[in-house]
Amino acid sequence: MLSRAAILSGQNSRALVAYASRASSATASGQDSSKGPLWQRPVRQEPGKVRMGFIPDEWFTFFYKKTGVTGPYTFGFTLSTYLISKEIYVMEHEFYNGLSLAIMWIAGIKLLGPKLAKALDKEIDNYEAEWNESRVQDKETLQNAIEDEKKNQWRMEGQTMLVQAKRENVALQLEAAYRERLLEAYTQVKKRLDYQVEKQNIERRIAQKNLVDWVVRKVKASITPDQEKQNIDNCIATLGNLIPKV
Amino acid sequence: MGFGDYPAEYDPKVHGPYDPARFYGKADTPLAQVKLGELGGWLARRNKHPQAIAGAISRAYWRWQHKYVQPKRSGIAPFLQVVTASMVFFYVINSQKLSRHKNYKYH
């Protein structure tokens, strides 16, 4: 199948591209041709939603069906009231220590948190971009190669058009040469025929002249002095007759 | 199943890459969907071998890791969770001693 014509027409390259895309689309997960994927590759999760910085959101939504939106807060408040009032949770000196620590923590998180998060996110993005760089570049190179290939195929189409135009041009030249030669042949033949006509005319003229000369000579030779005299007399008589009678 | 081995039910051809947060055995009804009357039966069906208990704790740990620690842009939540959990834990183990600091005699 690797004929020159096929390469020129770009058929093979298109088939190769199709092969390549099929090869890359084969998924990374386990594939059973008849039953589809057996397993999915685990993906990194999004961070779980939390309230107040650390309490899972599910612990709040768990209450919603029975108690509505305020339920979890009511539960937390009543539970802490119970624990404190029964002194199951004893408010000794460590509690106030913890309270001040909590205030410092909250202030620190609120003030520095967003900036720190921004900086760390940027670092993560940079790190990921670094790992991805070669892949992205490879992809870009391949994309460029595909673009070039397409452009070359387009140029190839242009070549066929050019060849067509050249063929037409050659045909025109051939036609012009043919007509030129036709004209040449015509003029040559006309020239020869003209020559013949002219020759015949000249021959006839000379022959006529010779004939006339010959006849004149013969006639002149046949005239006798008597006849000549008689003729002159006749002429004089005629001239005499021409003189108007007075 | 020796020390450091994968669970006996794990088969890479069927399950794909090993996920430490996943239970590969036969799934039972989740605890949240168990009715109170069936709770006894559900508890009786549990595997109470120390190895199984350790496995359950390990899976819970990895589930927590995947949800709060491993995500690409995890926040401060896991740190605060560890702090809070340790606060509660240490309060509980010290509660005997701390109860001597009670301020009121009668409640």
Read off the pLDDT of residues A19-43 as tens digits, 9 standing for 90 and up.
444 444 444 555 555 666 778 888 8
Nearest CA in chain B to A38: B14
Domain-embedded: residue A116: no
Could you give the CA distance from residue B69 to residue B61 in angstroms, rounded to a whole number? Answer: 10
Domain-embedded: residue A142: no
Taking CB atoms and an 8 Å limit, are A87 and B104 in contact across chains? yes
Question: pLDDT-based confidence at A182, cuts 50/70/90?
Answer: very high
Q: Assess whether pLDDT exceeds 60 at residue A18.
A: no
B84 and A CB contact within 8 Å = yes
Residue A172 or residue A244, greater confidence:
A172
Residue A198: per-residue pLDDT? 96
What is the arithmetic mean of pLDDT over B47-67?
91
Rounded to a whole number of angstroms, the distance from the CA of A47 to the nearest CA of chain B is 5
The whole-chain average pLDDT of chain A stands at 86
Tokens 């001597």 locate to: B100
Q: Which domain holds residue A7?
A: 1-23+44-90
pTM of the model: 0.59
Taking CB atoms and an 8 Å limit, are B70 and A45 in contact across chains? yes
B81 and A CB contact within 8 Å = yes
Domain-embedded: residue A207: no
Taking CB atoms and an 8 Å limit, are B80 and A54 in contact across chains? yes
Distances (CA, A) of B28 to B19, B21, B24, B33: 19, 16, 11, 10
Q: Which of A44, A94, A117 sits opposite B72 (nearest CB)?
A: A44
Read off the pLDDT of residues A44-54 as tens digits, 9 standing for 90 and up.
888 888 888 88
Read off the pLDDT of residues A108-143 as tens digits, 9 standing for 90 and up.
999 999 999 999 999 999 999 999 999 999 999 999
Could you give the CA distance from residue A38 to residue A29 in angstroms, rounded to a whole number? Answer: 8
Give B-chain residues touching A46 at CB under 8 angstroms.
71
Domain-embedded: residue A14: yes
Complex ipTM: 0.77
